[in-house]
Amino acid sequence: MLDTGFDYSARDQVMPHPYYGSQYWVGVVSPAANTIDEVRHLLDEAHRFAARKHANRSARGTRDGSVLDATPRVSAAPPEG
């Protein structure tokens, strides 16, 4: 667990995730009135980022983000036999 100085038993408080905080994950124990608007905003922001990332990868025509090689391939005729 990362030592962030946060009390991970505190309720209704946005804080870095204890294990994935370094990857920009957050956590909330029992979200309620104090954090619900912030949580909704963070979820909306994360969704828009993921959708934009997906659209960029789709535009490149690959699933994993690798670049397609547009070089035409010439195949030799099969050996006669």
pLDDT string in tens for the chain (81-residue length)? 667 788 989 999 999 988 888 888 999 999 899 999 999 999 999 999 999 999 998 888 766 655 555 555 555 555 665
Going 23 to 29 to 34 to 36, the CA torsion angle's sign is: positive
**φ, ψ (nearest 5 deg) of residue 61:** 80, 15
Residue 54 domain-assigned (yes or no): yes
Containing domain of residue 23, as a range? 15-60
Domain count, the chain: 1
Residue type, 63: R
The reply to whether 76 falls in a domain is no
pTM, 2 dp = 0.61
Residue 30 lies in a domain: yes
DSSP secondary structure string for all residues of 32-48:
-TTTHHHHHHHHHHHHH
Question: Is there a domain that residue 75 lies in?
Answer: no
Whether 29 maps to a domain, the answer reads yes
